[in-house]
Structure 1
Amino acid sequence: MNASADSFQPIRVLIVEDDAVTRTALSLSIQAEPTLMLAGAFDSMQPALEWMHTGAMDVLLTDLGLPDGSGVDVIRACRRLHPHCDIMVLTMSANEADVVACIEAGACGYLLKDGPKNDIARSVLSMREGGSPMSPLIARMVLERIRAPKPSPAPHEKKSRAVVQLTKREIAILDLIARGETYGNIATMLSVSVGTVQTHIKSIYSKLSVHSRGEAVFEAQRRGLLKRNAEST
């Protein structure tokens, strides 16, 4: 038997979606992709949280409006129990507060439900490659939020922000992450290896005390580290 076939491990996907039709469509899309595996599908928050304590997963797809709680709580639990898991939100909500809450909680992607359900497998694979799939409306909202003028920080805030120092290369990588580029694309654009990009990203996460691409972009912007990049676009 081929050794590479023996070592192949499918990407395990957990779905949390209360609408039965949508949940079925998402499940079928995941099951139709050979590199993905449906780890579980739940219609509410509590059974999903219970499953997370013993189940194995690589990707979480979750709605926000669940009958027994918020998808944000599902995201937080996933980030705590499965820190290396990639998280994507699938929702009807284009509310900025919801988008920010999800990204700050640890989401890597944010898709509105008006998109085709059969594209979800492609979005999952893109996210696993380092991308941050977002519906066009959400991506524009995030970019506008990053570009928006920020009030001058109080003196004690200036002191705390000055502690973090990113290198020029780290800032360049953060800017490309904010634009939705995958690790592979970033490596090509900067003429370095994917491993080098991942090393820089680990350094960025450590310096900013974050655990996801979305958190890194928002925290860097909050500290004013991406201000020059945003104004030059």
Structure 2
Amino acid sequence: MNIQSRTEIGQDTIRVMLVDDDDRIQQALRLAIETHPELNLVGQAYTLKDAMAVVEELQPEVVLVDLGLPDGSGLELIAHIHQHMPGCESMVLTVFGDESHVISSIEAGATGYLTKDTRTADILDRLKQLRAGGSPISPVIARRLLNRFRGVATPDQLPTSKTAVNQEFTPLSEREQQVLEMVAKGFMQAEIADILGVSINTISTYIKRIYKKLAVNSRTSAVHRANALGLINLKDC
């Protein structure tokens, strides 16, 4: 658990807490927030357990939380904040852009939802918008929600074949999502292992899990199935 405070610079800053197990994202946001005159980083947590242990003590006004934490779901933290901390708001920052994760987050109490391809500067702007009464949502997520309420089928609602109709989909873990995106971009297992700092056997295990969850048996099928489900966008790959 890493706690940092800038309360000495004034009482008008927005108190922010970061909850994410990705150290690169944590550090990028920390550096950006520390140089922002309107934001005050009061704490950082890398696990659900650490976040739950100190969130009430730190009294942040906004918690930027990832859904895929190593010891549980960020949804649990969001629900806790919603129920016990009326002065605090939760904004999701995650790789998951599918409808089920978005709806689950909103139902748990999140008032903002951003995907991790959002620029750091834009994330900081969204934090301010949230405290000003807005509900920032990534544009692609907003479009899917609008289509849902208009009754228009979105990519994550469309089957890819007759066998996929009414088939239950088990959400991917955050690491599985990362691996899937790299597979879609054409990276080989050895390259993915090197980038993520794990063994090839570990990547092979992730890919097998992805195949099982997507009900496919090849890289090509996995990519097309994931695109149809809205997990990736082939135009970005």
**Which bin holds the TM-score, normalised by the shorter protein?**
0.5 to 0.7
Equivalent residues of 2:81, 2:89 under 8 A apart: no
In the TM superposition, what is the alpha-carbon distance from 1:119 to its structure 2 partner? 2.1
In the TM superposition, what is the alpha-carbon distance from 1:7 to its structure 2 partner? 7.7
Aligned-partner residue type, residue 14 of structure 1: M
- Residue 224 (structure 1) aligns with: none
- 1:22 pairs with 2:56: no
- Residue 92 (structure 2) aligns with: 89
Aligned partners of 1:82 and 1:146: how far apart in 2? 30
Aligned to 1:41, which of 40, 44, 48?
44
- 1:77 pairs with 2:80: yes
Equivalent residues of 1:110, 1:134 under 8 A apart: yes
Equivalent residues of 1:30, 1:120 under 8 A apart: no
- 1:128 pairs with 2:112: no
1:84-163 map, 5 Å: 84-148=87-151
In the TM superposition, what is the alpha-carbon distance from 1:140 to its structure 2 partner? 0.5
Q: Percent identity?
A: 42
Unaligned runs of 5+ in 2: 1-8, 153-237
In the TM superposition, what is the alpha-carbon distance from 1:80 to its structure 2 partner? 2.0
In the TM superposition, what is the alpha-carbon distance from 1:15 to its structure 2 partner? 0.5
Per-residue CA deviations over 1:42-82 (Å, capped at 9, x if unaligned) read 11100100002322110010001000000111101111221
Aligned to 1:50, which of 46, 50, 53?
53
Aligned partners of 1:64 and 1:7: how far apart in 2? 31
In the TM superposition, what is the alpha-carbon distance from 1:124 to its structure 2 partner? 0.4
In the TM superposition, what is the alpha-carbon distance from 1:96 to its structure 2 partner? 0.8
CA RMSD of aligned residues (A): 1.7
Q: Give the ranges of 4+ consecutive aligned residues of structure 1 lying more than 4 Å apart after TM superposition.
A: none
Aligned-partner residue type, residue 89 of structure 1: V
Count residues with an aligned counterpart: 144
Equivalent residues of 1:13, 1:58 under 8 A apart: yes
Aligned partners of 2:86 and 2:68: how far apart in 1? 23
Q: TM-score, normalised to structure 1's length?
A: 0.59
Aligned partners of 1:8 and 1:85: how far apart in 2? 16
- Residue 9 (structure 1) aligns with: 12
Aligned partners of 1:81 and 1:24: how far apart in 2? 28
